[in-house]
């Protein structure tokens, strides 16, 4: 039998490791090509609004609890679990879906615009040589599209906040909107056109921050995972990217979210500066993160569900168009 020298063993090991490195490089190159190919597909404008509407059906109870905590008064429960049980005891399980129609109306306006404009701008600003847009560019595009989305969905958002708060108010103060459209048109008749734009600046600012922190971080993390790991365009990638995006978005948007809820819940004009002074005098600096836990427990699953539904929309679209995954 022919013996193998140490030099021959070393050469064989080196060849084996080189072959493995080449194979790994080929896999990563394939993932990069896949990521680039997916980025260049033009999807329908309404996909973001549709995906967000599906997500709202899943996470609406958490959004309701968050609003109730931000607007709590008197002897109302002070924590998430207490608020949740208080709603179920007094209004039944269906009470957790108060204001769902307004929430869906909001997603159909706000989210359709913010996702649609962002994807259109991203396609226009993506270099022809295949270079991915930089993070600062993605933040700028998503901030602009989020601001437009906040304006377009403001009327539905005001209605949404009011319907979620309504049953927590004394009987004499309840508005009793039947559904989202009824609330919008009653506001128009009873309070005038300005009511549709109540809180529009904090709302649009929040929407801009939300979009910048959510979409830009999701696209960046997803791109990195697809390019530098063997995960590819998979459910694991989508889940990890959206979870981080939800955490970032919740933290950045929390102070503006509190202001938005308090401005929209009132029927009278109140300056932002005056409101901030009152909040700070009564609650201190902690007002900025009031309701953060329910906000994250709502926005985290909301972000995950939104992007998972969005990626499902895209996958079905690629199959329908005969585009290879």
- Per-residue pLDDT reduced to its tens digit, 140-151: 999 999 999 999
Look at residue 12 and tell me whether its pLDDT is greater than 90: no
Look at residue 9 and tell me whether its pLDDT is greater than 60: no
Look at residue 41 and tell me whether its pLDDT is greater than 60: yes
- How far is Cα 137 from Cα 72, in angstroms, rounded to an integer? 39
- How far is Cα 50 from Cα 108, in angstroms, rounded to an integer? 7
| 245 token code pair | 């995006």
**pLDDT range class, residue 35, cuts 50, 70, 90:** low
- How far is Cα 301 from Cα 195, in angstroms, rounded to an integer? 31
Which range has highest mean pLDDT (72-81, 164-173, 304-313)?
304-313
Q: Are 50 and 313 in contact (CB under 8 A)?
A: yes
DSSP category for residue 225: H
Mean pLDDT on 257-284? 70
Look at residue 175 and tell me whether its pLDDT is greater than 90: no
**pLDDT range class, residue 308, cuts 50, 70, 90:** very high
Q: Please give the backbone phi and psi of residue 83, each rounded to the nearest 5 degrees, phi first.
A: -65, -40
| 44-321 to CATH, choices 1.10.1740.10, 3.40.220.10, 3.40.50.920, 1.50.40.10 | 1.50.40.10
The overall average pLDDT reported for the chain is 81
Residue 141, burial from CB neighbour count under 10 angstroms (0-12, 13-18, 19+): buried
Q: 39-72: b or e for each residue (b if 16 or more CB lie within 10 Å)?
A: beeebeeebbbbbbbbbbeebbbbbbbbbbbbbb
pLDDT of residue 314: 93
pLDDT of residue 290: 74
Q: Are 232 and 226 in contact (CB under 8 A)?
A: yes
Neighbours of 233 (CB within 10 A): 18
Residue % of the chain over a pLDDT of 70:
80
Q: Which of 56, 63, 40 is nearest to 130 (CA)?
A: 40
pLDDT of residue 116: 94
Residue % of the chain over a pLDDT of 90:
27
Which range has highest mean pLDDT (42-46, 175-179, 199-203, 276-280)?
42-46
Mean pLDDT on 112-120? 94
Mean pLDDT on 44-68? 88
| 45 token code pair | 């404008």
- How far is Cα 254 from Cα 210, in angstroms, rounded to an integer? 10
How far, CA to CA in Å, does 82 sit from each of 85, 88, 167, 260? 5, 10, 16, 23
Q: Which residues contact 180 (CB under 8 A, 6 or more apart)?
A: 99, 101, 102, 103, 104, 105, 106, 156, 159, 160, 163
Mean pLDDT on 134-139? 90
Q: Give the residue carrying structure tokens 């931000």.
A: 70
**99: alpha, beta or left? (left if phi > 0; alpha if psi -120 to 50):** left
The model's pTM is 0.72
Which range has highest mean pLDDT (29-43, 55-69, 162-176, 268-282)?
55-69
Q: Which of 242, 236, 239 is nearest to 218 (CA)?
A: 242
């Amino acid at each position: 039998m022919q013996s193998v020298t140490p030099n021959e063993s070393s050469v064989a090991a080196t060849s084996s490791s080189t072959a493995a490195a080449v194979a790994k490089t080929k896999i990563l190159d394939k993932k990069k090509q896949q990521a680039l190919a997916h980025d260049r597909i033009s999807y329908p404008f309404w996909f973001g609004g549709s995906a967000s509407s599906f997500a709202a059906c899943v996470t609406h109870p958490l959004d309701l609890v968050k609003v109730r905590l931000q607007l709590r008064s008197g002897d109302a429960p002070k924590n998430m679990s207490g608020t949740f049980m208080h709603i179920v005891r007094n209004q039944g399980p269906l009470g957790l879906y108060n204001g769902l129609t307004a929430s869906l109306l909001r997603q159909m306006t706000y989210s359709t615009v913010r996702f649609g404009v962002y994807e259109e701008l991203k396609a226009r600003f993506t270099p022809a040589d295949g270079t991915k847009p930089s993070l600062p560019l993605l933040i700028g595009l998503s901030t602009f599209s989020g601001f437009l989305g906040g304006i377009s969905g403001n009327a539905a958002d005001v209605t949404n906040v009011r319907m979620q708060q309504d049953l927590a108010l004394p009987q004499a103060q309840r508005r009793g909107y039947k559904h989202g459209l009824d609330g919008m048109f009653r506001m128009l008749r009873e309070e005038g056109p300005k009511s549709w734009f109540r809180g529009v600046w904090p709302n649009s600012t929040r929407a801009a921050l939300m979009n910048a922190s959510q979409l830009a971080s999701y696209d960046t993390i997803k791109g990195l995972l697809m390019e530098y790991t063997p995960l590819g365009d998979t459910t694991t990638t989508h889940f990890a990217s959206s979870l981080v995006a939800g955490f970032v978005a919740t933290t950045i948007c929390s102070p503006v979210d509190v202001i938005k809820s308090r401005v929209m819940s009132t029927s009278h004009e109140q300056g932002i500066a005056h409101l901030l002074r009152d909040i700070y005098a009564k609650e201190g600096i902690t007002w900025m993160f009031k309701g953060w836990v329910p906000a994250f427990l709502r926005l985290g699953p909301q972000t995950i569900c939104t992007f998972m539904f969005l990626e499902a929309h895209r996958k079905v679209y690629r199959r329908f168009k005969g585009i290879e995954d």
